[in-house]
Every structure is written in C-alpha cells, then in structure tokens.
C-alpha cells in the first residue's frame, strides 16, 4: 500500500485514491506518518494535534478510529500502555493453531492503561489501579475475565486489538489512560469489540488520590454495565472495602506485589520483602501486605532461596490473614496456600482457597494455587481441572512455569510419566531457576530409564541445594506419600543424594 501525504495542501492519497479526512484526523495521520519508525505516545499526539487545548483522550480515540476505517484496521497498531504506531500495509497475523476458543459468556481482557501523569515513575501506580479493576471485574461470575498476568504482557508491544482478542480468546477489550494533576486523577476508559474494533462504550471518571479505591470500583461497574446491561450488581459479590487507609502503605504494597510475580530471583525477593515490610510498618493491620509476605516466603522456599526453617517464619502472619475475616480473594489464596505448603495444613489451605475461588472465579493465580494444593493431597484429577483452567485464564501468566510444573506433577501421580516429562521439560524451559521442576524431572527421568538425563538435572539441583538429602525432602515436602514422592526419592537415591 502506498500512502502519499501533501501537508501543504492537506491531502492524503492511498494507492492513488484521495482520502476524505477531517482536519484532526489528517493532523493525527501526518504526525504518525512523520514518525512511522517508532511508537508515538498518546500524550505526544494530544500535544501535537491539540496544542494548547484541554481535550479528552476520547477525541484522539475517535480520530484513530476514523483513520483505521480509511486506511484499514491493520494500518495503525495499538501499543498498550504507550500509544500508537503507523504500520501501513502490515498483514494480519495468522490465527495460532492452539488459540483458545471464545467462552460461552462475555469475555474481556483489560490492557495496560497509558500513563499520562507525566511521571514515568508512576507506572506501577497506574498498573496497580488496572490490576484492581481487573480483580473487581473478575469477581463477577457472569463474565470471563483474562488475568492481568496475561493482559499485561502486551504492555509496550505493537498489536492489533483483533490479534489480542484471538491470542487471549476474548470478545472485548478494555483500554484507557490515567492522568494526574496534583491530587486530581482522571481515568479514561473505553470498551471495544476486539474483532471489529467497534467502540461499544467510553467514559471518563474523575476523583482524587484519596478516593482511588472508589474510582476503581466505578470503572469496573460501568464496564460491566456496558457488557451486560441487565446485570444485577447486588448479586455480583464484589468487594467494596478499602484494603488500607494508608495510601503510602498501599503504594509500597503495589510495588512489592508486582515484584512478587517475578520470583524466584534473589534480588526481586529482597526488594519484595522490603516493600511489603515497610507497608506493614505503616499499617500493621494491612491484610494484603501480610498475605504478600506469605507469598514471598512461599516462593523463597520453592526456589530454594531460603531454607524451610526460614520460610516457616511467616506462619503467624498467615494465621492473622485467615483469621481476619477478610474477603479479599488474593489475600485468602496466598495465605491459604502458604499454610498448605509450608504449614502442612492441607485442609485449612483448601478451605480458604475454595473461598477465594468463590469470591474471584476468574483468577488464574488462585486457580494455580488450588491445583497445587490438590497435588499435595494426592488428587491429580482435581489438580488438573484447576491448573488447566488457570492456563486458559492466563496463558501468558509470568508464573506459567509453576502451572505447567503442577500439571506435570499431576500426570506423574496418575502414572503418565512420559507425559509428565513433557510438561516438566516445558516448565524448565520457561523457568530454569524454579528448582521444584528439577526435583520432579530428575525423578521422572530415572523412572523411565533415562539415567544420564536424570543425573544431569540432579547435578544442577545439587549445585544449588548442596544440603539436599532424602530425609530433607521427606521432612519438607508438602505432598503426601504417593507416586510423585516415590519417584523423587528414587531419583535422589539413584543420583547419590545422602539419606540424611
């Protein structure tokens, strides 16, 4: 496709045909065309086209829609959390062979919002607000909502919304931006149909940093109403309580929570603990911060960054969370899983994880934790149900290796060793430092007679955990005696690990 722009006569010609564009649409096209080698931020476009004027981002969105109709939907790519890029002539990506099908209920992905606060360091705050909006929407059982852990992987990438819809298996996309002036916040959100790019709804929300939680609720409410007008909000089981009265503590919690998903990296773990402990110092009753610390202890032991005895230190915090009466689903899930994994109380963990799943049925993180606890219990069929659904909810989850490893463990328990090896190997390629994978894989290799491969994996594990023994595994494993445990122990013995 050949696009020619004559700025002096304000004419745009595409493949020999003159385009009929309004003044603003033409100006947006001129700027995108002049900077076609890079992504142009929304703020840059607003400043260039509406210089000196206070305008809504919705005005820019309308002009982008006009240009896509004139040039073709693929001509301008959205870069979630940033802006737009002119990619005229690019072909639509092929539908992946394993692309998920659309659910039989309204399906939605919320893309990262654009940070228009003028402060790059506010990215984590913008992302945290969007995560809260996703969480609120996820509690509505009438919807299928993709986890933020998948939708946030599109941040900064040049994508077509139809492509996002195909890759995530959703019909609708929510995108937007957040502006800040002093204490004032303005959230712009728009809901579009992914396949057609058709605008369904857009709205602006204003408030202050003091009522950030109310703003999040209002965006979630309005989006749900646009998707399903007859939805009765009283039956949506949404949580309206603020997690803390301390905005400074909430700020620290957001920063720590983001890093929690990046474990098992030692530096991330240290930073996570620092942020979450500082948040708890500011608000000693901050339940979500306590739960985040429990999750950090969980991953520290799972990655063998800490010993089991070090990981046990968060047991009092976990009991505080579970006894607090909170209805925050992620906090219940993190503390519940910690008690099942480190506290060895499977029944207690399952009770609170199931409560969390009821509160937020669309959380991939809750699903993967539930699946693992069923693995601990020796219930592989139940584990697979939760773990496979978690993969469907969040196919791009930053802890996808943990989910895949859990599936491998369940298949091993079912006696399908070769299938288990396939999953363990895939998990290892995703997260080579997640040492729980090594334990299962060295055992599975041994069982099928692949001694050299078993020894190779065991050597990597031994280097990272030199004090591992059969006794240590038996004392610290969360799994009850079963096929998986027997395989691991057999592998440890075959590979020369001591009994004690």
Whole-prediction pTM: 0.67
Q: Phi, psi (5° rounding) for residue 325?
A: 80, 10
Closest CA to 239 of 358, 323, 148, 370: 358
pLDDT at 222: 66
pLDDT at 229: 43
The rounded percent of the chain whose pLDDT value lies above 70 is 89
Task: Say if 4 falls within a structural domain.
Answer: no
Residue numbers in the chain where pLDDT is lower than 50: 92-97, 228-241
**Domain final position from 174, 207, 235:** 235
**Domain final position from 361, 386, 419:** 361
Q: Token digits for 384?
A: 């697979």
C-alpha–C-alpha distance, residues 500 and 492, integer Å: 12
Task: Say if 93 falls within a structural domain.
Answer: no
pLDDT at 498: 95
Sign, Cα dihedral of 302, 432, 79, 98? negative
C-alpha–C-alpha distance, residues 490 and 494, integer Å: 6
Closest CA to 405 of 330, 342, 150, 397: 397
Are residue 222 and residue 272 in the same domain, yes or no?
A: no
Q: The tokens 């009770």 sit on which residue?
A: 351
Are residue 72 and residue 188 in the same domain, yes or no?
A: no
Q: Express each pLDDT in 28-82 by its tens digit.
A: 888 988 888 888 888 888 888 887 676 777 788 888 888 888 888 778 888 887 8
* Sheet containing 17-18: order of strands: 3-6, 11-14, 17-18
Are residue 111 and residue 231 in the same domain, yes or no?
A: yes
Closest CA to 28 of 60, 72, 73, 69: 60
**Domain final position from 35, 56, 86:** 86
Q: Express each pLDDT in 450-462 by its tens digit.
A: 999 999 999 999 9
pLDDT at 141: 67
CATH code for position 415:
1.25.40.10
The H or E element that residue 84 is part of is strand 83-86
Task: Say if 95 falls within a structural domain.
Answer: no
User: Looking at the 3D structure of the chain, how many domains does it have?
Assistant: 4
Domain that holds residue 406: 378-500
């Amino acid at each position: 496709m050949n696009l020619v722009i004559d700025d002096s006569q304000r004419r745009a010609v595409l493949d020999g045909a003159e385009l009929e564009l309004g003044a603003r649409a033409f100006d947006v096209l001129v700027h995108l065309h002049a900077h076609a080698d890079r992504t142009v931020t929304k703020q840059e476009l607003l400043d260039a086209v509406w210089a000196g004027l206070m305008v809504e981002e919705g005005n820019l969105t309308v002009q982008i829609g006009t240009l896509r109709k004139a040039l073709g939907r693929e001509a301008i790519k959205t870069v979630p959390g940033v802006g737009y890029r002119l990619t005229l002539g690019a072909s639509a990506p092929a539908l992946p062979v394993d692309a998920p099908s659309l659910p039989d209920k309204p399906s939605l992905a919320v893309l990262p919002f654009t940070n228009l606060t003028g402060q790059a360091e506010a990215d984590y705050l913008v992302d945290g607000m969007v995560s809260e909006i996703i969480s609120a929407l996820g509690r509505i059982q009438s919807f299928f909502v993709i986890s933020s852990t998948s939708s946030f992987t599109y941040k900064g990438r040049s994508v077509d919304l139809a492509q996002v819809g195909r890759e995530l298996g959703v019909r609708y996309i929510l995108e937007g931006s957040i502006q800040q002036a002093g204490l004032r916040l303005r959230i712009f959100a728009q809901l579009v149909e992914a396949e057609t790019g058709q605008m369904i709804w857009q709205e602006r929300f204003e408030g202050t940093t003091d009522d950030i939680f109310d703003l999040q609720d209002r965006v979630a409410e309005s989006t749900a109403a646009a998707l399903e007008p007859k939805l009765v909000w009283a039956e949506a089981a949404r949580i309206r309580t603020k997690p803390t009265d301390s905005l400074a503590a909430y700020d620290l919690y957001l920063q720590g929570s983001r890093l929690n998903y990046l474990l098992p990296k030692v530096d991330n773990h240290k930073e996570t603990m620092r942020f979450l402990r500082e948040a708890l110092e500011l608000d000693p009753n901050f339940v979500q911060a306590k739960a985040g610390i429990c999750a950090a202890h969980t991953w520290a032991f799972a990655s063998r960054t800490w010993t089991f005895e070090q990981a046990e230190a968060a047991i009092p915090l976990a009991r505080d969370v579970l006894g607090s009466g909170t209805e925050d689903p992620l906090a219940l899930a993190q503390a519940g899983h910690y008690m099942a994994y480190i506290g060895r109380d499977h029944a207690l963990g399952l009770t609170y994880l199931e409560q969390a799943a009821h509160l937020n049925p669309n959380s991939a993180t809750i699903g993967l934790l539930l699946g693992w606890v069923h693995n601990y219990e020796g219930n592989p069929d139940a584990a697979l149900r939760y773990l496979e659904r978690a993969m469907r909810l969040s196919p791009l989850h930053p802890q996808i290796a943990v989910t895949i490893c859990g599936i491998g463990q369940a298949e091993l328990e079912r006696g399908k060793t070769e299938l288990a090896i396939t999953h363990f190997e895939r998990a290892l390629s995703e997260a080579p430092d997640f040492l729980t994978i090594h334990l299962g894989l060295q055992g599975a290799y041994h069982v099928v007679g692949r001694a050299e491969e078993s020894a190779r994996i065991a050597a990597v594990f031994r280097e990272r955990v030199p004090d591992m023994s059969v006794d240590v595994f038996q004392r610290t494993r969360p799994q009850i005696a079963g096929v998986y445990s027997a395989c691991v122990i057999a592998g440890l013995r075959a590979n020369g690990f001591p009994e004690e």
